[in-house]
Amino acid sequence: MTSAKKHIRHYAYYPGCSLHASGREYDISTRALFKALRLGLQEVPDWFCCGATPAHNVDELLSHSLCAKNLTLADEVEGDLAVACAACFSRLKTTQHHLKRDDAKRKQVETAIDGPASLDKPVKHILEILARDFGLAKLEESVKKPLLGLKVASYYGCLLTRPPEVPDLDDCEDPSIMEDILRALGAEPVKWSHRMECCGANFTLSRPGVVLHLSNAILKSAQAAGADCIMVACPLCHGNLDIRQQNIESKNQTDYDTPIFYITQLAALAVGVAADKLGFESVIVDPRPMLKEKQLI
C-alpha cells in the first residue's frame, strides 16, 4: 500500500532534542497518536538543535541561521512541518516571521547557511494539527475510550501563544485550543489561574531555584482548582513540573503527586492506543494509579 493511501495526510516531523532524550514519551506518544489517526509522520533527516533559548539569548543571527538551515532540511520531506516542542515551534516560526520581513537579516542568514533561506513550509504545532487540520469533530468521532471523569488543568506556558504575531496559534491571553481538544476527548478541563504563567524554563540547569518557585505556583494552582492532572505540550514544561516535582514538594513542604501528561498521551489513550505504548513508565510521577482509579486503563 502506498503512503498516500495509507495516510489521510502526511507531515514532516521535527522532534527536537528533548524528544530524543528527557521528553522521550512525548515522541513515543506523538508517533502512536499519528499512526492511530492515520496521519503520516516522517522525521526530517539530519535535523539538529534549533538553538532554543540559549542561542537567541546571546546571538540572534546564530539562532536564525540554525533555524533557517533546519527549515531547509525540512523541505526535503513531504508535508507541513509538525513540531511537538513549544520552544522549537517558537524558534522556527520566529525565524520565518523575521526573515520574511527583514531583507538585511535574511541576507546575513543566507550568507551564514550558504544558500537561500527556505521560509514557506507551514510550521505547525501538534495542537493545531489535531484541532484544525484533523479537526475537532473528527477527533471526537475517533475517540474509542472517552476520558470521562478526568479533570485536567491545561497548561499552555509561554511560547505557544507569545508574542501573538509569531506563533499565530490562539489568543495570547485567553486561549482555548487545549480545552477544546480535551472536551473532544471526553475529559473535563478545569478553570484555573496559571495556564499561561512561566514554569522557569531552562533555568532548570543554571538556577533551579527559579523553577522550584515558579513551578510550585503552577502545581499549587492546579491542585486548588481540583485538577487530577496537568496537560502540557512542551518537554521543558513537562520536565519542570514532573522531574522537578519531588524537589518542589520537599522545598515547599507540600504534597502534590500530580501526574503531568503530554497532550499526545491523553489523545492517544482516548483514541484507543494501549497504555503500555505511551511511555508512562518513563515519567517520574507515575500516572497509572490515578488512571486505574478512574478506570481509564
Stretch that binds other proteins, among 111-119, 128-136, 252-260, 287-295 (CB under 8 A): 111-119
Residue among 62, 136, 143, 297 that touches other proteins (CB under 8 A)? 62
Residue among 51, 79, 175, 259 that touches other proteins (CB under 8 A)? 51
Q: Is 276 a residue that touches other proteins (CB under 8 A)?
A: no
> Site mask, other proteins, residues 142-161, x = CB under 8 A?
----------------xx--
Number of residues that bind other proteins (CB under 8 A): 57
Nearer to other proteins, 40 or 235 (CB): 235
Q: Is 57 a residue that touches other proteins (CB under 8 A)?
A: yes
Nearer to other proteins, 173 or 293 (CB): 173
Contact (CB, 8 A) for 116 and 69: no
The whole-angstrom distance between residue 278's C-alpha and the CA centroid of its chain comes to: 15
Chain positions contacting other proteins, by CB under 8 A: 17-18, 20-24, 46-49, 51-62, 65-66, 69, 98, 102, 108, 111-114, 158-159, 162-164, 172-173, 197-198, 200-203, 205-208, 210, 214, 243, 281-284
